[in-house]
Structure 1
Amino acid sequence: MKQPVSLIALDMDGTLFNGQSEISKEDQDAIREASSRGIHVAISTGRPYAGLPVTLLSGLGVSYAITSNGAAVYHLPDRLCIHESAMEPALVCPIIEELQKKSIHMDAFINGDGFSQRSCEGKIDCLDMPTSIKRYIHRTRTFTDDLAAYIRVHNLNVQKMTLNFYPQEDGTFLYRDEVMQILSEHPEITFLSGGYHNLEFTRAGVTKGNGLTLLCSHLGVDIEETLACGDTQNDIDILKTAAIGVAMENALPEVKEIADFVTRSNENSGVAHAIHTFAL
């Protein structure tokens, strides 16, 4: 007899999305069927709300999204924020100002939207990531001359910062090691990689796993009736938190190591396989 599943949390990039940032028909059908049976299906992503294909997801029955690595939880499709744990300007701006001295791509996720330095706009195509992700960044960012100043002047709280690094000919990434050292000197933040050799930081204690716990509380769902799927470092906590943690076949080794089950890859409808295995 299968363990009951009342809530399914799905990462997007590398999990629900294939390499072209598309959701397969098999995955869509499985999500739609789970939702029709009364199972809550939620997104769990490092992206901000603005990075979600809301119309498509809502049509499949997805009604919640844990975004920005757990810093903000939203209801779909009305963008109602039911939880936020963001970094205030006094916390995040000194870190941004230190990072602005280096040639890196920076994104700030604020109120569900993405903001970037204008100096980064012309170099997005230099980043080591799929073309579909580059197009997503071009399409969803608001560019400003001075990101830290913009945040200070408008007194904006930042849900998450994403830092991407330019690849070098020797296979390393410019300033990545130095930035890791800088971030490690700030105990008031949590940082990790969300994929493509990036670094992402939030307020200390913010994780996708905590976002799942909050969403369960909001919905009255027992955490022991949850299933989560993911592929990279920012998914480890939610895979540990959920009753059933599923790693994609394409997941990092450390993600597979802590998972309860390894499903098919994101190019082979691994989400659908996990849903059919445990929930349907």
Structure 2
Amino acid sequence: MHTQNSFRLVALDLDGTLFNSQSQVSNENKSAIKDAIDKGTTFVISTGRPYSGLPLELMEELGIRYAITTNGAAVYKVPEKECLFETCIPASLASDILEELLQLNIHINLFLHGDAYAPAKCRQALLKIRSLPDSIKEYMLTTRTSIKDMPAFLREQEAGVQKMTLNFPEGEDNSFPDRGKAMEILDKYPQVSYLCGGYHNLEFTMTGISKGKGLALLCQYLDIPIDHTLACGDSENDLDIMKTAGLGVAMANAPREIQALADDITLSNDEHGVAAMIRKWL
């Protein structure tokens, strides 16, 4: 049973966890993290975002030196962008899957070497998605390199893909008509596995990749027992790391099924939930 002060490493999700609903980090959360780092706790970002989507200035301000990115497909040392571990979808497989997905009305993000790309034809689909907050739409629009023929780009570059993320415009009845079609396509490829990272999206990596595996590899690298780690998140892509860590904490804004599987629940991301978790457990 864990007690206060027994944790040496804390892994924090970004969107919906450390970030509030405006994609900002409160001063309360910043202060709590700085105090814990000053006392010797290592903090790690654990996110579905690529390296290029990390808040590097914020991480430098807080003293956070490591990041588990793209749902565990790549683990980096920051700010050197030193890739410590990486597992990619091979370019040939990624291009085959992408060609099928591009027949649907969806927005697709691809993450290669820590950078973010999007097929040019997907821009209009992104603008039509009502469920995505404007701050996240703006983040996607301003941080993706647009490529006209993305399958050809992957084959020419022979570039492995760390992760792909799919976002879906709503139909008139607020359902997501192409989400099921995308799942049918992905189900044909057992080499990859998918889950939801929030806002009804789908995110897929090579099968066996997860934030939890990224945490285990990083703990080996840092020589920190995994029992002395804490992971905090709000979405399906956080479940594995919450189970892998010594203690898994869900945000109050997480779906009920995520909260039900957590060891503890903190306040929401708009109520400085990370700071509350730190005060309770560190």
TM-score (norm 1): 0.98
Aligned residue type for 1:114: A
Per the alignment, residue 139 of structure 1 pairs with 142
The Cα offsets for residues 93-113 of structure 1, whole Å up to 9 and x where unpaired, read as 111111111121111000111
Q: Which residue of 2 aligns with 1:50?
A: 52
* Cα pair 1:36 1:61 within 8 Å, conserved: no
Could you say what secondary structure the match of 2:14 adopts? coil
Corresponding position of 1:9: 11
* d(CA) in 2 for partners of 1:268, 1:178: 37
Bigger shift: 226-235 or 184-193? 184-193
In the TM superposition, residue 193 of structure 1 has moved relative to its aligned partner by 0.5
Aligned to 1:162: 165
Question: Could you tell me which residue of structure 1 aligns to residue 275 of structure 2?
Answer: 272
Counterpart amino acid of 1:143? S
Q: Deviations over 1:97-148 (max 9, x none)?
A: 1111112111100011110011122442212200100010011000001111
- Provide Cα deviations, 1:225-249, integer angstroms capped at 9, x if missing partner: 0000000100000000011100000
**Alignment partner for residue 192 of structure 1, among 191, 195, 199?**
195
Give per-residue Cα distances to partners, 1:3-31, cap 9 Å, x unaligned.
Answer: 51010000000000011100010111111
Stretches of 4+ aligned residues off by more than 6 angstroms:
none
2:244 to 241, 264, 268: 241
* Preserved CA contact (<8 Å) 2:125 2:168: no
Q: How does 1:10-89 map to 2 (within 5 A)?
A: 10-89=12-91
Alpha-carbon distance between aligned partners in 1 of 2:182 and 2:17, rounded to the nearest angstrom: 27
Q: Secondary structure at the match of 2:15?
A: coil
Matched, 1:230 2:230: no
The aligned amino acid for 1:24 is: S
Q: Return the alpha-carbon distance in structure 1 between the equivalents of residues 22 and 171 of structure 2.
A: 25
Matched residue type, 2:36 = A
Q: Please identify, of 91-100 and 204-213, the stretch whose mean Cα deviation from structure 2 is larger.
A: 91-100
In 2: Cα distance, 1:77 partner to 1:105 partner: 29
C-alpha distance in 2 between matches for 1:19 and 1:154: 37
User: What's 1:108 paired with?
Assistant: 110
Gaps of at least 5 residues in structure 2 are none
SS in 2 for 1:120: helix
Q: CA contact under 8 A between 1:30 and 1:276: conserved in structure 2?
A: yes
Map Cα deviations across residues 15-70 of structure 1 (whole Å, 9 max, x no partner): 00011100010111111111111111000000001111101112101110000000
Distance 1:252 1:268 in 2: 16
Letter of the 1:73 partner, please give it.
Answer: V
Paired with 1:11 and 1:134, the residues of 2 have a C-alpha distance of 19
The residue matched to 2:270 in structure 1 has which SS?
Answer: helix
- AA aligned to 1:203 is M
Residue in 1 aligned with 2:181? 178
In structure 1, stretches of 5+ residues that fail to align are none
TM (norm. structure 2) is: 0.97
User: Match for residue 121 of structure 1?
Assistant: 123
Report if the CA contact (8 A) 2:126-2:169 is conserved: no
Say which SS state the counterpart of residue 17 (structure 2) adopts: coil
| Distance in 2 of aligned mates of 1:121 and 1:192 | 23
Q: Distance between the aligned counterparts of 1:252 and 1:131, measured in 2? A: 21
Paired-residue identity, %? 47
In the TM superposition, what is the alpha-carbon distance from 1:251 to its structure 2 partner? 0.4
Please point out which of 200, 215, 219 is paired with 1:216: 219
Whole-Å Cα distance in 2 between the matches of residues 12 and 250 of structure 1?
13
Secondary structure of the 1:266 match is: coil
Q: Is the 8 A contact 1:69 1:207 kept in 2?
A: yes
